[in-house]
C-alpha cells in the first residue's frame, strides 16, 4: 500500500471513530465540569485544517513556502483590504522584517526613535533594537492598559520616526488621536496587530490607519497555523522588501508558482545583475539586503486558507465570550474591573483583561482559578524594563502604571469554543472564591 493510500485509510478510520484531533477545541468532546480545563486559548480547528495540511504535504510540489502560502497571502490581503502581504514563520519574525523593511524603505538612520508602550510583548520592542533604532517608551493608562496617548507628544523629538502601537489584548486606544499625532508630526503609524486581528475602529480595520501591520498565527491568537505570521501594507514596495529580508535578503521577488518560471517575474532572470561582475547572473542569487530565513512551510499556508474562512465566526464568538465572562467576574468578585472598548472601537478580543485592586486579590484569585482548571496568563512581560534584556534602556521607575501590571493584572481566555457549560463552570468557580487576609 502506498503512503498516500495508507494515510487516506488512517484518516478515514480516525474520522469514523471520532473527530481526528479531539484535543482541538472545535472538535473536542463536550465540556465536563468534573475534569475539563478552560484553556485560555488554542487552535479553533476542525478536521479541515489537518486534512488541508496533509493534502498539501502529499501533493505539494515544494515543502517550503510555495503556492499555498502565496494563496493565503493573497486571500489575507483581500479580506483586510491590503495591497500586499508576506507570510513568515511567526509574529516575532513579522515584526522583525516589518521594522527592517520600514527602516530601509523610509530611510531611517541608526539611532532614530520609535515610540512604543513600555508594557507588552518583548518581540514588539526587540526588532527596534535589532535594527539599531531606539525604543522610546510611554507609560500606560490603567483605564484600558494601552499606552497613555496624552503622554506621547512629550516624547517626540526631532529623531522620532514612528509610533508603534500594539492594542492591548486586541482592544485599540483612540485611533483618531494616534492618526492625528502621526499626521501632525510627520510620523509613520505602525501596527503590531498580532493580538488584534479583526478589531475595528470606526468600522474600518485597524490596519487601515497604519502604514504597515504585523500579525501572528501562534495558537494563542485569533487564527492559527501552528506557528506563523504576516506583514501587510498598502505599499507593495514595502512588502517586496519585507519578503527580501525574510528570504535570505535576495533581490528576486518571484512568489508561488512564479518561482518556477524560466524567465522569472522580472522577465530578466538571467542578466548582468552585478556591478563588478560582467557575467550573466541568476536573479535568484542576487542579494540586496542583509537578510534572514524566516519562511514558513507551505502546509502552514494551506491551514491558513481554511482558518480565514472561520474568521468572522471567531470574532463574533470571542466578543460574546468576553462580555459573558467580564459580567461574571465583575459580579462575583469585589475589587476587580474588566476594561471595555471605546465607543468607536469594535474589539476582537484576545483575552479578558482583569485588573485587581491589589496584589493580594490578584495572587489569590489566580491561584483559585488555576487550581480549578481555569487557565490564566499575565499580561505578558508587564513593564518590559523590569527584564534583564531591556533594563539598560531606561529607568523602570519612571513608569509607575506599568509597574502595577505584574502586581494587579492578568487575563483569562475568551476562546470561540466557550459555551454555556463553560460559562456556568467559570461562574461556579468564581462563586467559591473567598479572599483571605494577606499573609
Ligand X SMILES: Cc1ncc(COP(=O)(O)O)c(C=O)c1O
**Which residues are annotated as catalytic?**
221
Closer CB to ligand X, residue 27 or residue 299? 299
Give min distance, CB of 84 to ligand X, in A.
20
Site string for ligand X, 178-197 (x = CB under 6 A): --------------x-xx--
Closer CB to ligand X, residue 42 or residue 264? 42
Q: Are 104 and 289 in contact (CB under 8 A)?
A: yes
Give min distance, CB of 285 to ligand X, in A.
29
Give min distance, CB of 193 to ligand X, in A.
8
Select the residue interacting with ligand X from 31, 40, 72, 121 (CB under 6 A): 121
Q: How many whole angstroms separate alpha carbon 392 and alpha carbon 386?
A: 10
What backbone torsions phi and psi does residue 102 show, to the nearest 5 degrees?
-60, -45
Helices 67-79 and 298-308 pack at an angle, to 10 degrees, of 30
Q: How many whole angstroms separate alpha carbon 355 and alpha carbon 382?
A: 13
Q: How many whole angstroms separate alpha carbon 252 and alpha carbon 270?
A: 11
- What cell does 409 get? 493584572
Give min distance, CB of 217 to ligand X, in A.
7
Q: Interface with ligand X includes 232 (CB under 6 A)?
A: no
**Residue closest to ligand X (Cβ):** 91
Q: Interface with ligand X includes 423 (CB under 6 A)?
A: no
- Considering only the stretches 4-12, 90-98, 293-301, 411-419, report the one whose residues sit in contact with ligand X under the rule CB under 6 A: 90-98
Select the residue interacting with ligand X from 65, 77, 85, 90 (CB under 6 A): 90
Site string for ligand X, 270-309 (x = CB under 6 A): ----------------------------------------
Site string for ligand X, 240-259 (x = CB under 6 A): --------------------
Closer CB to ligand X, residue 69 or residue 328? 69
Closer CB to ligand X, residue 53 or residue 169? 169
3-state secondary structure (DSSP) of residue 383: strand
Length of the chain: 439
Q: Interface with ligand X includes 137 (CB under 6 A)?
A: no
Q: How many whole angstroms separate alpha carbon 110 and alpha carbon 305?
A: 38
Burial 249-276 (b: 16+ CB within 10 A, else e): bbbbbbbbeebeeeebeeeebeeebeee
Closer CB to ligand X, residue 95 or residue 207? 95
Q: How many whole angstroms separate alpha carbon 173 and alpha carbon 316?
A: 20
DSSP string covering 183-220: HHHT-EEEEE-TT-TT-EETTEEGGGG-SEEEEE-STT
**Beta strands per DSSP E along 276-418:** 281-282, 336-337, 345-346, 352-356, 377-378, 409-412
- Considering only the stretches 36-44, 118-126, 283-291, 383-391, report the one whose residues sit in contact with ligand X under the rule CB under 6 A: 118-126
Q: Are 182 and 163 in contact (CB under 8 A)?
A: yes
Could you report how far apart the first and last alpha carbons of the chain are, in Å?
A: 66
Q: How many whole angstroms separate alpha carbon 152 and alpha carbon 181?
A: 9
Give min distance, CB of 243 to ligand X, in A.
18
Select the residue interacting with ligand X from 166, 199, 233, 396 (CB under 6 A): 166
Select the residue interacting with ligand X from 92, 146, 199, 403 (CB under 6 A): 92
DSSP string covering 82-139: -SEEEEES-HHHHHHHHHHHHHHHHT--TT-EEEEESBS-HHHHHHHHHTT-EEEEEP
Give min distance, CB of 301 to ligand X, in A.
15
Q: Cell match 501632525: residue?
A: 184
Closer CB to ligand X, residue 195 or residue 235? 195
- Considering only the stretches 87-95, 181-189, 295-303, 388-396, report the one whose residues sit in contact with ligand X under the rule CB under 6 A: 87-95
Q: How many whole angstroms separate alpha carbon 373 and alpha carbon 428?
A: 12
Closer CB to ligand X, residue 54 or residue 166? 166
Give min distance, CB of 227 to ligand X, in A.
6
Near ligand X in 199-228, by CB under 6 A: 216, 218, 220
Select the residue interacting with ligand X from 65, 100, 123, 131 (CB under 6 A): 123
Closer CB to ligand X, residue 269 or residue 315? 315
Q: How many whole angstroms separate alpha carbon 295 and alpha carbon 405?
A: 35
Binding residues for ligand X, rule: CB under 6 A, are: 90-92, 95, 120-121, 123-124, 166, 192, 194-195, 216, 218, 220, 229
Amino acid at each position: 500500500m502506498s503512503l498516500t493510500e495508507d494515510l487516506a485509510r488512517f484518516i478515514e478510520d480516525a474520522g469514523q471513530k471520532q473527530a481526528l484531533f479531539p484535543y482541538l477545541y472545535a472538535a473536542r468532546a463536550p465540556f465536563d465540569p468534573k475534569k475539563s480545563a478552560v484553556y485560555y486559548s488554542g487552535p479553533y480547528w476542525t478536521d479541515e485544517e489537518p486534512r488541508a495540511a496533509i493534502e498539501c504535504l502529499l501533493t505539494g510540489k515544494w515543502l517550503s513556502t510555495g503556492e499555498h502560502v502565496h494563496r493565503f497571502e493573497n486571500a489575507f490581503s483581500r479580506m483586510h483590504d491590503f495591497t500586499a502581504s508576506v507570510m513568515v514563520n511567526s509574529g516575532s519574525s513579522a515584526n522583525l522584517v516589518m521594522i527592517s523593511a520600514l527602516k530601509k524603505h523610509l530611510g531611517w538612520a541608526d539611532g532614530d526613535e520609535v515610540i512604543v508602550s513600555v508594557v507588552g510583548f518583548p518581540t514588539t520592542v526587540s526588532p527596534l533594537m535589532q535594527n539599531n533604532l531606539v525604543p522610546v517608551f510611554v507609560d500606560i493608562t490603567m483605564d484600558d492598559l494601552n499606552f497613555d496617548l496624552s503622554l506621547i507628544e512629550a516624547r517626540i523629538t526631532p529623531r522620532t520616526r514612528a509610533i508603534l502601537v500594539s492594542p492591548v489584548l486586541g482592544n485599540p486606544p483612540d485611533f483618531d488621536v494616534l492618526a492625528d499625532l502621526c499626521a501632525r508630526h510627520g510620523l509613520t503609524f505602525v501596527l503590531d496587530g498580532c493580538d488584534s486581528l479583526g478589531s475595528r475602529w470606526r468600522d474600518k480595520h485597524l490596519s487601515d490607519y497604519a502604514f504597515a501591520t504585523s500579525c501572528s498565527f501562534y495558537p494563542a491568537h485569533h487564527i492559527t497555523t501552528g506557528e506563523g505570521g504576516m506583514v501587510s501594507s498598502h505599499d507593495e514596495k514595502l512588502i517586496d522588501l519585507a519578503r527580501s529580508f525574510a528570504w535570505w535578503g535576495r533581490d528576486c521577488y518571484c512568489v508561488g508558482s512564479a518561482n518556477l518560471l524560466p524567465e522569472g517575474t522580472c522577465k530578466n532572470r538571467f542578466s548582468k545583475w552585478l556591478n563588478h561582475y560582467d557575467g550573466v547572473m541568476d536573479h535568484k542569487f542576487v542579494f540586496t539586503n542583509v537578510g534572514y530565513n524566516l519562511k514558513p512551510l507551505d502546509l502552514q499556508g494551506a491551514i491558513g486558507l481554511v482558518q480565514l474562512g472561520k474568521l468572522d465566526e471567531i470574532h463574533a464568538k470571542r466578543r460574546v465570550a468576553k462580555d459573558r465572562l467580564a459580567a461574571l467576574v465583575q459580579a462575583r468578585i469585589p475589587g476587580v474591573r474588566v476594561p471595555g472598548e471605546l465607543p468607536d472601537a469594535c474589539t476582537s478580543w484576545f483575552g479578558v483583561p482583569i485588573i485587581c485592586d491589589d496584589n493580594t486579590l490578584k495572587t489569590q484569585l489566580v491561584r483559585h482559578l488555576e487550581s480549578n482548571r481555569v487557565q490564566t496568563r499575565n499580561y505578558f512581560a508587564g513593564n518590559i524594563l523590569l527584564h534583564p534584556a531591556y533594563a539598560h534602556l531606561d529607568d523602570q521607575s519612571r513608569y509607575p502604571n506599568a509597574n502595577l501590571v505584574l502586581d494587579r493584572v492578568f487575563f483569562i481566555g475568551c476562546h470561540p469554543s466557550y459555551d454555556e457549560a463553560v460559562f456556568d463552570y467559570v461562574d461556579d468557580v468564581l462563586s467559591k472564591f473567598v479572599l483571605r487576609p494577606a499573609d
